[in-house]
Structure formats: structure tokens, C-alpha cells
Amino acid sequence: MTVREALADAELRLAAAGVETPRVDAEWLVAHVLGTTRSGLAARGDEEVDGLEPLLARREAREPLAYILGEWGFRRLTLKTDARALVPRPETETVVERALALVAETERPRILDVGVGSGAIALALKDERPDAVVVGVDVSADAIALARENAERLGLDVELREQDGVEAAGEGWDLVVANPPYVESLDGLQEELRWEPEVALIGAGAHERLARAAEARFLVFEVGDGQADAVGETLLGAGWRDVRITRDLTGAERVVEGAK
Ligand SMILES: C[S@@+](CC[C@H](N)C(=O)[O-])C[C@H]1O[C@@H](n2cnc3c(N)ncnc32)[C@H](O)[C@@H]1O
């Protein structure tokens, strides 16, 4: 099959499987097999493609594209991604932006990332604030192992520990940042979520527990759709001031922060 034919066929199959962006995903997969980028495909329409089928079958089964490709972009980094941890999301880049803004005036800020997952937030913070002392904790040994692999690949010096976030948050920090599990149930949500670790997705009350436990000058949380106001109230109730909500690039209220 040529690149052109493979793209058309893959797009049809992915659309039939209910994938939200079948053309874009087809391009990612074909580009991956050819060892090129999506924009690099344009000039190679007549080339033969081999080895696409197993990847296409995985995507038809609604496995996240990032797990199939094995890596995914986040801020300036390319992170290794697999089923040991949540796929880093574009909306989480706004969390990093607010975290960087809050410690902009602090020298060598001490930062804790609770629920480090693949390492996305902690590693992006260290990358963009090399003088920061960054610690990432997670209750999942799998996530910590993946975050360590990412830290090594990227040459970023971040301390990673298998530890409960509430316990770590009380240790005294300039900034505590967290994207905790905040989904109540996977019912009605995208099929792709079923491939990601449940401990990364499903949870209730994590924002409140962390807001009460954190000993820090600043706190930055990612929140789920429709949760921002309630989490903001929780922060005020736990003694945080300057509570502020920031929207992500889609316009959804996504980040809640406070100061002490
Ligand atoms: C939504 S994921 C976020 C992963 C990563 N920070 C990101 O933004 O891509 C939540 C993470 O919190 C971890 N987690 C859940 N409960 C925790 C707890 N009590 N203490 C520390 N980490 C926890 C999960 O294992 C998971 O890796």
C-alpha cells in the first residue's frame, strides 16, 4: 500500500472505530512507521508503507495514541509514555505556566509535584526553572519508574519518591503543585481512558486533603470540568488567600491557585 492509500484506509477504519480525529491519528501512525513527521508525509504519498497494521489495530481498539507512539510532547519536552502512567494532557501545560509565574521571583524555589505520573509537570518545571529544587511523589511504583526513565532520558535532576502526596505536602515548600485524580466514574467518558491507570483518574476529595495538608507559600491545582468554583471555596476554607482560577487553552476553568 502507498502512503496515500494507507492514510485513506486508516482514516476510514479509525472513523468507524469512533476515534475523534481519525485523519490526524492516521497521519501520526503512518508518519511513525516511516520515521518521519506528519508534515513530512506530504512529499512521500507514493512510497510503500510496511508495518502499519499492528499499530492501526491498537488504535482501532481505542488505545491512546501516545501509548502506541511511545512518546508524547509536553511543553518543551518529549516524554516516554506508556500504560504505567497517565498521558500528559495539553491542559496541564497551563498548570505549569501558573506554577512558573508564582515562583518567578523566588530564587531556587523548592517545588513539590504531587502525583507525578510520567513526570510531566515536575520535569517541565525543572526544564524551565533549572535552579528549582523539584521533588515528585506518587503512590504508584509504576508511575515513579516511568518518571525516573523520563528524568534520565532528559538529563533533568528531579527527586522522585514513592510516597503519599498528603504526607509529602506537609514537609514545607515554596510551591505545591498537583494534578490529582478527579474523575468520579469513567461512564460516558472517552474509551481511551480505560487504558490509563485507574489510580490516575478516579478519585474524590484529593484537592481538599492537599489544601489542608500543604505547608507551602503557593498551591496550584488542576481541576476537572465544573470543579473550579468548589475547589476555590475549599482553598479559602483552608486558609489560602489570593485564590485565582485560570482557563486552559480550550477556555475551560482548569487551574485553581492560592497563596499563604
Ligand atoms: C491525573 S494523574 C497526573 C499525572 C501527571 N502529574 C500529569 O499531570 O500528567 C494523577 C497521579 O496521582 C497519583 N496519585 C493518586 N493518589 C495519590 C496520592 N494519594 N498521593 C500521591 N499520588 C497519588 C496517581 O498515581 C497518578 O499518577
The whole-number pLDDT of residue 54 equals 98
Is the pTM for the entire model greater than 0.85? yes
Tell which atom from ligand 1 comes closest to the C-alpha of 95: 8
Of 148, 157, 153, residue with least CA distance to 125: 157
- Ligand 1 neighbours, Cβ below 6 Å, are 85-86, 88, 92, 114-118, 120-121, 137-140, 143, 164-165, 179-181, 199-200
The whole-number pLDDT of residue 210 equals 98
Tell which atom from ligand 1 comes closest to the C-alpha of 140: 25
Which residues in 122-172 belong to E strands, given as ranges? 133-138, 159-162
Burial label for 193, CB within 10 Å (0-12, 13-18, 19+), is middle
**Contacting residues for 95 by C-beta, under 8 A, at least 6 apart:** 121, 177, 179, 220, 221, 222, 254, 255
For the chain, the farthest-separated pair of C-alpha atoms sits apart, in whole angstroms, at 63
Tell which atom from ligand 1 comes closest to the C-alpha of 74: 9
**Strand arrangement, sheet containing 110-114:** 159-162, 133-138, 110-114, 173-178, 216-222, 253-259, 241-247
Tell which atom from ligand 1 comes closest to the C-alpha of 201: 1
C-alpha cell at 25: 491519528
Taking the centre of ligand 1 as the mean of its atom positions, its distance from the CA of residue 116, in whole angstroms, is 6
The whole-number pLDDT of residue 214 equals 98
The whole-number pLDDT of residue 258 equals 98
Ligand 1 mutation target, pool 92, 144, 179, most atoms within 8 A of CB: 179
The whole-number pLDDT of residue 245 equals 98
Give the residue, by CA position, lying nearest to ligand 1 atom 9: 88
Tell which atom from ligand 1 comes closest to the C-alpha of 164: 20
Taking the centre of ligand 1 as the mean of its atom positions, its distance from the CA of residue 24, in whole angstroms, is 29
The whole-number pLDDT of residue 171 equals 97
The whole-number pLDDT of residue 126 equals 98
Low-confidence ranges of the chain (pLDDT < 50): none
The whole-number pLDDT of residue 241 equals 98
Give the residue, by CA position, lying nearest to ligand 1 atom 12: 115
